[in-house]
Amino acid sequence: MVAVMEETNKMIEVEVEQVDRIQNDWNSEVLKTQLLELIEDYHWKFDSVKELEKRVFGFSLRVSYGIAEYGIDMVMPKGCSGKSAAELDAMELKEKRAYERLLQYKAEIDLIDYIPAVIQFESAKMHEMYEDMLVGKKLAEIANKLGQDRKTARSMRNRMLKTAIENEYVLKFLQEGFNKRVKSGK
């Protein structure tokens, strides 16, 4: 009876290890996919940050209410700005969303810019691959440029992504970003 229980416990332990291994492999693939998406989106997000900064910081939609007025200026009519309070509130919400998107894009760009500083590229080809990915080149173009077939280029890209994910900062950023998207339903 004891031998049967011990054997059952061993089988359960083996199954738990297999499930853990599968879960870790799945998490790793999800994180690699997220990082690859961030790298591929780098070029257009970089341009979007410039546009969002102009929109958010280039001008103000609201008038400053912190200035005190005295005397006749205080009681005189101020005129109409041409916009209703609802329109001004909608513009404020739009500006807030743009600012939040600006912060998100900046964080993602900073992460992608941080990666070359923390990982050691195996070769000059891998570093060149990373740079080409940042400007939006497809894997087939990169493989052709480096004189490799797509399978070899894909393998090199996966090693690079795996090395980047092993960095604690990169891993934490991807996990928190993933949890944030899951909670928000996206």
Task: Calculate the average pLDDT of the chain.
Answer: 77
Average pLDDT of 98-112?
90
Q: How confident is the model at residue 37 (pLDDT cuts 50, 70, 90)?
A: very high
Provide the 10 A C-beta neighbour count for residue 132.
16
Distances (CA, A) of 125 to 122, 156, 157: 8, 9, 10
Gap between the Cα atoms of 39 and 136, Å rounded:
8
pLDDT at 4 over 90: no
User: What is the per-residue pLDDT for 68?
Assistant: 47
- Name every residue whose Cβ is closer than 8 Å to that of residue 32 and which is 6 or more positions away in sequence: 158, 161, 162, 165
Give alpha helix (H) positions in 58-84: 72-75
Gap between the Cα atoms of 127 and 89, Å rounded:
47
User: What is the per-residue pLDDT for 186?
Assistant: 47
Structure-token match 């912190």, residue found: 66
Q: What percent of the chain has pLDDT over 70?
A: 70
User: What is the per-residue pLDDT for 55?
Assistant: 82
User: What is the per-residue pLDDT for 64?
Assistant: 38
User: What is the per-residue pLDDT for 67?
Assistant: 46
Average pLDDT of 91-118?
88
Q: Which of 90-104, 143-157, 161-175 has the highest mean pLDDT?
A: 143-157
Distances (CA, A) of 39 to 20, 55, 109: 28, 25, 9
Average pLDDT of 53-63?
60
pLDDT at 144 over 80: yes
Structure-token match 């109409």, residue found: 80
Q: What is the DSSP letter of 64?
A: P
Hey, CA dihedral for 145, 147, 153, 159, is it positive or negative? negative
Q: How many CA atoms lie within 13 A of 126 on its CB side?
A: 18
